[in-house]
Structure 1
Amino acid sequence: MQRTYKTGSDGIRQSRSMNDDTPVRDEPVRFDTKIAVLLREDLEPWQRLNVTAFLVSGLGTTVPEVVGEPYEDADGVGYLPMFRQPVMVFEGTKETLTAAHGKALSRALPCAVFTGDLFTTGNDHDNRAAVRAVGTGQLDLVGLAVYGARNAVDKVVKGARMHP
């Protein structure tokens, strides 16, 4: 299949099949922003997945630029849009999470929190009440999601390690 090359508006060279208008990226995309989830290292596997899902759900509703366009398959069946960039998942100690939370707040980055108390509640109303009942410095954080400029988010999760 013969390809032609064109530089897109984002400066990244794209290849296109002579028979297809769909661009294929030859170069990796570097985002100026980052989505990161930081999980406490002592969570059970099911808790890690549950906490991650809850945390990232808040970003898409309040930071619309993180969400891409809807998907569609070759048969025209539509699917929901997803984040336009990867979500990096990290883990760390309780102290690492507390420090990251403080850094995210001091930088005014959009963030979502999940506390240990939320494992004992059964609905959204009780979840919000459980967080509201505890002062910022006393939150029993088990997860944190943060979005912002790549370098700012890197500073927030400094000291954490990539989730295995």
Structure 2
Amino acid sequence: MFDTKVALIVRDDLATWQKLNVVAFLATGIAAAAPEAIGEPYIDAADVHYGRMLIQPMMIYGSGGDALRKVRQKALDREITIVPYVDAMFSTGNDEENRRVFREERVESMNLVGLAIRGPRNAVDKVVKGLLLHP
């Protein structure tokens, strides 16, 4: 059992390709924020080396936009790692533009389509309480 927990929350009204894209980007954000949670490279029987992965499971939840904003606030209150993705980022083509459109979001009406959080297991459980795992 891990002392920390990773939860990815994606808005449930997105197209499938959007959900997958958001989850992939959020997972990389968690990996970047927690390098200590990255395992060693995988090596197969022929001694071919492969990339490294996060050492713990990531739970994926679905929710609406209001729930995402509430999760964001609860995570901020508990000072746990947050990785956000907003709707405007679907219309950009690079990281610099993503950060620019994110910076323009108004906090009180942030159009979140996904969040990743990582922190102490109990804190993350409290933040995602009431959310359902993504089907």
Q: Paired residue for 1:83? A: 54
Among 96, 106, 122, which residue is 1:151 paired with?
122
Q: Secondary structure at the match of 2:8?
A: strand
User: Aligned-pair distance for 1:42?
Assistant: 0.5
Q: Gaps (5+ residues) in structure 2? A: none
Trace 1:1-164 onto structure 2 (pairs within 5 A).
Answer: 30-164=1-135
Aligned residue type for 1:113 = P
Aligned residue type for 2:72 = H
Q: Tell me the TM-score normalized by structure 2.
A: 0.96
Q: 1-side partners of 2:41 and 2:73: how far apart? A: 35
Aligned residue type for 1:158 = K
Q: Paired residue for 1:26? A: none
Q: Secondary structure at the match of 2:21?
A: helix
Number of residue pairs aligned between Structure 1 and Structure 2: 135
Q: Tell me the TM-score normalized by structure 1.
A: 0.79
Q: Secondary structure at the match of 2:75?
A: helix
CA-based RMSD: 0.9
Contact 1:92–1:159 (Cα < 8 Å) also in 2: no
Q: Gaps (5+ residues) in structure 1? A: 1-29
Q: 1-side partners of 2:66 and 2:74: how far apart? A: 12
Aligned residue type for 2:107 = T
Select between 58-67 and 89-98 the one with higher mean Cα deviation: 58-67
User: Aligned-pair distance for 1:142?
Assistant: 0.5
User: Aligned-pair distance for 1:108?
Assistant: 1.1
Contact 1:36–1:90 (Cα < 8 Å) also in 2: yes
Relative contact order: is structure 1 or structure 2 higher (C-alpha 8 Å, sep ≥ 6)? 2
Q: 1-side partners of 2:50 and 2:107: how far apart? A: 38
Say which one has the larger Rg: 1
Q: 1-side partners of 2:113 and 2:41: how far apart? A: 31
Report runs of 4+ in structure 1 exceeding 3 Å deviation: none
